[in-house]
């Protein structure tokens, strides 16, 4: 590993966590952890877990996390192989040849470990700030609401046979791809959170929509949905409030996954919440698709614009009214 300092900085920059497991850790493990905390305090997110937390599903690691294992934790590492996602680091003066680790950190002993974190503290901010993704090819995205934009609205639809595409949506999606755009669906689905639709029923409707698109040579690159609706009786209805429009969470998920150029992106929705969420996420062009609630939605958007001078949108009658910029 060329630079442990840069790996730690990159992990933090991407939202990762430094994870340690207590089972079979060295007797002086609290001192190793304390030296890290002494140098960084709250600047680096740290999690200390038990093996059972992973095995029972109470705790999950992510792709950006660094999970540390010490010499003596070989059996822990082997037992958690299918449970621990992310980047696995073996800490020891002796190399570990197991093929289920990613990095060997020959830090040696507690003194060397403490020295590393103490030295890193002085350069950490610069390492994080110098983060670059210039090698990524950022492309814009056509964001679409689902009901009354991609398919005709059937309230709490659980019947795949009732799925009907909106006229011109196939051509719009094709055009977006021809211009080099991603296409992503971002849709509030409160029926799941209210317990009106089961997950299996939603999946069947969703897959029917994708099938109808594919039959005409159109596809959606990413699909995100929010079931949050402040419903304590249904788990899906009380979790992940930040995803539900007008919050920008779904857009942010797509941005991070597809490396989206938000300023050049487009949102097409039939409600004020669609466009407000897109604006909050930095989407450059917003279109309000005409529906039965058109006048009400425009009134809400005008009130929002009164307090947000940079917000703008265009009301359209058909998908053909949307124009794509040159890349």
The residue-averaged pLDDT of 245-273 equals 95
Q: How confident is the model at residue 123 (pLDDT cuts 50, 70, 90)?
A: confident
Say how many C-beta atoms besides its own lie within 10 A of residue 213's C-beta. Answer: 20
User: 132 pLDDT exceeds 70?
Assistant: no
Q: Does domain 141-321 have CATH number 3.40.50.1000?
A: yes
pLDDT for res 10: 87
Q: Domains of the chain: which residue ranges?
A: 4-129, 141-321
Q: β-strand 285-289 against 141-144: which pairing, if any?
A: unpaired
Of 257, 161, 169, the closest CA to residue 204 belongs to 161
Classify the C-alpha dihedral 70-76-78-81 as positive or negative. Answer: negative
Say how many C-beta atoms besides its own lie within 10 A of residue 119's C-beta. Answer: 12
Beta strands in 92-181 (DSSP E): 103-105, 141-144
Q: Specify whether 222 is catalytic.
A: no
pLDDT tens figures, 309-326: 999 999 998 888 898 865
User: Spelled out in words, what is the top-level CATH class assigned to the domain 4-129?
Assistant: alpha beta
Task: Report how far residue 147's alpha carbon sits from residue 117's, in angstroms, rounded to the nearest whole number.
Answer: 52
User: 327 pLDDT exceeds 80?
Assistant: no
Catalytic residue among 53, 147, 270, 274: 147
pLDDT tens figures, 149-167: 999 999 999 999 999 999 8
pLDDT for res 310: 93
Catalytic residue among 145, 261, 270, 274: 145
Q: How confident is the model at residue 230 (pLDDT cuts 50, 70, 90)?
A: confident
Q: How confident is the model at residue 291 (pLDDT cuts 50, 70, 90)?
A: confident
pLDDT for res 12: 87
Task: Report how far residue 222's alpha carbon sits from residue 187's, in angstroms, rounded to the nearest whole number.
Answer: 11
Question: Residue 236 belongs to what H/E stretch?
Answer: helix 235-238
pLDDT tens figures, 32-88: 999 988 888 778 899 999 999 998 989 999 989 999 999 899 999 989 988 999 999
Q: Specify whether 147 is catalytic.
A: yes
Domains 4-129 and 141-321 share a fold: yes
């Amino acid at each position: 590993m060329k630079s442990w300092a840069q790996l730690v900085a990159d992990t933090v920059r991407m939202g990762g966590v430094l994870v340690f497991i207590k089972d079979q850790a060295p007797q002086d493990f609290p001192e190793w952890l304390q030296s890290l905390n002494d140098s960084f305090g709250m600047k680096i997110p740290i999690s200390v877990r038990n093996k059972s937390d992973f095995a029972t599903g109470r705790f999950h690691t992510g792709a950006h996390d660094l999970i540390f294992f010490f010499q003596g934790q070989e059996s822990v590492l082997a037992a958690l192989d299918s449970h621990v996602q992310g980047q696995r680091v073996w800490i020891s003066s002796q190399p570990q040849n197991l093929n289920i680790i990613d990095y060997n950190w020959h830090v040696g002993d507690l003194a060397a470990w403490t020295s590393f974190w103490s030295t890193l503290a002085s350069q950490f901010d610069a390492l994080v700030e110098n983060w670059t993704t210039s090698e990524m090819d950022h492309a814009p995205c056509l964001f679409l609401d689902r009901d009354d934009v991609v398919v005709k609205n059937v309230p709490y639809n659980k019947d795949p046979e009732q799925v009907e595409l909106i006229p011109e949506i196939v051509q719009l999606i094709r055009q977006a791809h021809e211009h080099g755009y991603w296409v992503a669906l971002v849709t509030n689905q409160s029926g799941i959170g209210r317990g009106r639709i089961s997950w299996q029923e939603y999946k069947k409707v969703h897959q029917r929509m994708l099938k109808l698109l594919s039959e005409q040579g159109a596809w959606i690159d990413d699909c995100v949905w929010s079931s949050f609706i402040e419903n304590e009786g249904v788990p899906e209805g009380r979790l992940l409030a930040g995803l539900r429009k007008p919050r920008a969470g779904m857009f942010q998920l797509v941005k991070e996954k597809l490396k989206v150029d938000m300023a050049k992106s487009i949102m097409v929705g039939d409600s004020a919440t669609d466009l407000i969420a897109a604006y909050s996420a930095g989407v450059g062009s917003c279109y309000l698709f005409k529906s039965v609630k058109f006048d009400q939605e425009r009134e809400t958007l005008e009130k929002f614009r009164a307090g947000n001078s940079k917000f703008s949108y265009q009301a359209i009658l058909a998908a053909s009214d949307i124009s794509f910029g040159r890349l």
